[in-house]
Amino acid sequence: MAASIKLEIVTPERVVVDESVRTVVAPGLLGEFGVLPGHTSFLTALKLGALRYENSSGKTCYVFIREGFAEVLPDKVTILAEAAERRKDIDLARAEAAYQRAKERMERKSREAEVDFARARAALSRSIQRIRLASGEERH
């Protein structure tokens, strides 16, 4: 059995992670799932959340995931995500600005019918997840 897993996290814009890791825990649509080397193969959708993995030195690393799919093979995990950022690459000021914008849109909704509430709520959820990750609140 392989002693490590190759983890690839890819977005339409770039390769965010490409490394050999010891474990992966990802935000599956039906709940978080963990992968160790030799895991049974499966495919699943991912929801907005944080993925974490233990790198080859045993350090836990966090990655923001904006929905996508995961393909799990015994020796490889491939994540295709709409957007993804390593914790250290999250721009906290940008996420806070997105939070304020989305909150203000949702507050305006009661007065202006053209504000897309679902879109604003989704933007709010993304910003909250990014802020939690970037400010180190995401610890399991």
Query: Cα–Cα–Cα angle for 56, 61, 67, nearest 5°?
Result: 120
Q: Does 66 engage in binding with ligand ATP (CB under 6 A)? A: yes
Half-sphere exposure of 64 (CA within 13 A, CB side): 26
What are the structure tokens assigned to 89, written together? 């690459």
What phi and psi values does residue 22 have, to the nearest 5 degrees?
-95, -40
Using CB under 6 A as the criterion, what x/- string covers residues 98-127 for binding ligand ATP?
Answer: x------------------------x--x-
Window 15 to 54, contacts with ligand ATP (CB under 6 A): none
Identify which of residues 34 and 108 has a Cβ nearer to ligand ATP in the complex. 108
What phi and psi values does residue 69 have, to the nearest 5 degrees?
-135, 150
Query: What is the spatial distance between Cα 45 and Cα 24, in angstroms, rounded to a whole number?
Result: 15
Whose CB is nearest to ligand ATP?
91
CB of 101 to ligand ATP, least distance (A): 7
Of the residues 36, 83, 115, 128, which one makes contact with ligand ATP according to CB under 6 A: 83
What are the structure tokens assigned to 2, written together? 């392989």
Residues forming the site for ligand ATP (CB under 6 A): 13, 66, 83, 85, 89-91, 94-95, 98, 123, 126, 130
